[in-house]
Chains A and B, each alone.
Chain A
């Protein structure tokens, strides 16, 4: 149930994908998404998919973990493809029933839309699954560094994000525990109408809220005790340096984007 939410989860490993510089991976995800949104045809989708499958294979992330991560978006995928299926315009009518008309173009749009959403989510998972949150935020911090000149508190933002990512698994566990404890007192979360269900969540949300505050407070104290004093003068255990593999990987990403754009120009 709640354990299925894999947001912020990281699967440690030592594959090439894991060892890539987080900055490379962040930029590659951006390029990948750009390619995905420029893909219009079966062929270009196929190229992007091949790229994704290749990265997953190299990273040795289990397919089951990938699929589990998709669970929360199943509803959105189904809904958007249904809408596409029913409302896309086209001439080649396959079926007609009441006010609904299904066309060949509709079927194509539905499949491609579902593929796009799934590939979008899987691509971003590749980033979070193979990059530790600390490295991820470190990468973001470095990429955003130019913004410091505009007085954007880059380090603080990055630290906040990494703490949030750190607390997610703990809070998920906590939510499970509180829900069980209230069920043991006879609470029911799956009966009644929407308002009753919302009301039933109160006994979970209040303790969860309080415990998040308590945890955040204790964590802040522990960080202070370990000499945390902002980003000034901080060094790093793992210093980021672009290696050959980063240039190669990024080049591959750009090649993907170029290929998709060329294919689109060719009308494919």
Chain B
């Protein structure tokens, strides 16, 4: 790929143990992955599979113990480039409460541009723009701790967008949200990809969210075990279940029907697709 923006090559990582006698356990072992500009990649895997550890390598929060991570042509081990890397690769975390730094929404969104030394008039412009993108502009002078979880998460996203990153890594951004909050966050992700042309990497436990990606990467025990478009990945119903994962309900339905001898397509990722395929079969 010549539009590669992230290149992970044989990445190995372990947390250095507290005492010297214990042998460290690899959290990531031999992970290689290339991600192209503007793509939307979902990362699936059970708890402790190494997804978050992998994510934290993409903006130099963690540095490889073996192998290399290159983002936008920059080696993450190069300390000189750290700020530039973090500016280009934004990150949204799971718990919205623990990533908001200010008691006023707009001051929070301004945090990253302030750190980057962006001139004051431009910070204002970026903050307003980011808040409008996530639909929270009218809350700009509110106190974040009085907002709902979904709203807080949108503020956190705005705080990342204000850096004008080329790529945003979402680490289970919807895990603590209700269905409405989840939908709002997914809508923003869609807008970022389509309107801003951002590269999006989404770590999630929700298969329905992963189904919206262009590409799904599955991790297990620190290794990359599957990689492909969702339509292809979700046909491996049994393998995914063996890895402690599931498939979207619509796929599961088709799989059960096929097992019973019905001739229906397997990888219907959305409700519309699924209903259309069934209507097609039963309408005849």
A residues near B (Cβ < 8 Å) are 8, 10, 12, 132-135, 162-163, 165-166, 169-170, 173, 214-215, 218-219, 221-229, 233-239
Q: A234-B117, A235-B114, A235-B119 are in contact. Are A226 and B86 (CB under 8 A)?
A: yes
Is residue B97 contacting chain A, with contact meaning CB distance below 8 A? yes
Using a Cβ cutoff of 8 Å, how many contacts connect chains A and B? 108
Q: When the two chains form their complex, are residues A169 and B159 in contact, meaning their CB atoms are under 8 A apart?
A: no
Name the A residues within 8 Å of B160 (CB-CB): 225-226
CB distance from B252 to the nearest CB of A (A): 34
Which residues of chain B from 82 to 118 have a CB within 8 Å of any chain A CB? 83, 86-87, 90-91, 93, 95, 97-104, 106-107, 110-118
Q: How far is the CA of A232 from the CA of B232 in the complex (A)?
A: 49
Chain A residue contacts of B83, Cβ below 8 A: 227, 229
Q: Contacts A221-B61, A234-B115, A239-B120 known; A227 to B143 CB distance under 8 Å?
A: no
CA distance A228 to B117 in the complex (A): 11
Contact of A236 among B86, B93, B99, B114 (CB under 8 A): B114
A sample of 24 cross-chain residue pairs with beta-carbon separation below 8 angstroms, ordered by A number, consists of A8-B103, A10-B103, A12-B142, A133-B103, A134-B102, A134-B104, A162-B102, A166-B101, A170-B97, A218-B99, A222-B98, A222-B156, A224-B61, A225-B160, A226-B112, A227-B115, A227-B116, A227-B163, A228-B115, A233-B117, A234-B117, A236-B110, A237-B107, A237-B120
Q: Supply 20 further A-B pairs (C-beta < 8 A) apart from A135-B107, A166-B100, A226-B111.
A: A132-B104, A132-B107, A133-B103, A165-B103, A218-B98, A218-B99, A219-B98, A219-B101, A222-B156, A225-B59, A226-B101, A226-B159, A227-B83, A228-B111, A229-B83, A229-B115, A235-B113, A235-B119, A236-B123, A237-B127
Give the Cβ gap from A122 to chain B, nearest Cβ, in Å: 21
Is B16 among interface residues, defined by CB-CB distance under 8 A? no
Task: Tell me how many residues of B have a C-beta within 8 Å of chain A.
Answer: 41
For A173, the chain B residues whose CB sits under 8 A away are 145
Give CA–CA (A224, B176) in the complex, Å.
Answer: 22
Given the interface pairs A134-B104, A226-B115, A227-B86, the reply to whether A215 lies near B61 with Cβ below 8 Å is no
Considering the complex of A and B, which 6 residue pairs feature the smallest CB-CB distances, nearest first? A222-B99, A237-B110, A218-B98, A226-B112, A227-B115, A233-B117
Tell me whether A169 and B101 are in contact (CB under 8 A): no
The answer to whether B123 and A170 touch across the interface, beta carbons within 8 angstroms, is no
A63 shortest CB reach to chain B, Å: 20
**Cβ of B124 < 8 Å from any Cβ of A?**
yes
In the assembled complex, which residues on chain A have CB atoms less than 8 Å from the CB atom of B141?
A: 12
Nearest-CB distance from A189 to chain B (Å)? 24
Are the C-beta atoms of A223 and B114 separated by less than 8 Å?
no
With a cutoff of 8 Å between Cβ atoms, the chain A residues found around residue B114 in the complex are: 234-237
Residues of B within 8 A of A222 (CB): 91, 93, 98-99, 101, 156
The closest CB in chain A to the CB of B82 belongs to A229
Chain B residues with CB under 8 Å of chain A are 59, 61, 83, 86-87, 90-91, 93, 95, 97-104, 106-107, 110-120, 123-124, 127, 141-143, 145, 156, 159-160, 163
Whether B107 lies near A134 (C-beta < 8 A) is yes
On chain A, the residues within 8 Å of B59 by CB distance are 225
The reply to whether A166 and B103 form a contact with Cβ atoms under 8 Å apart is yes
Contact status B93-A221, CB under 8 Å = yes
Instruction: Establish whether residues B106 and A225, one from each chain, have CB atoms under 8 Å apart when the complex forms.
Output: no
Chain A: minimal CB distance from B84 (Å): 9
Closest chain B residue to A219 by CB distance? B98
Check A223–B101 contact: CB distance below 8 A: yes
From known contacts A12-B141, A134-B107, infer whether A235 and B101 are also in contact, taking CB-CB under 8 Å: no
Report if A215-B97 is in contact (Cβ < 8 Å); known contacts: A227-B112, A235-B113: yes
List residues of chain A with CB within 8 A of the CB of B98. Answer: 214-215, 218-219, 222
Residues of A within 8 A of B143 (CB): 10, 12, 169
Check A226 against B163 for contact (C-beta < 8 Å).
yes
**Would you give the shortest CB distance from B83 to chain A, in whole angstroms?**
5
Report how far A117 CA is from B86 CA in the complex, Å: 49
Query: In whole angstroms, what is the CA distance A8 to B145 when docked?
Result: 13
Which residue from chain A places its CB closest to the CB of B100 in the assembled complex? A166
Bound complex: CA A132 to CA B111 (Å): 14
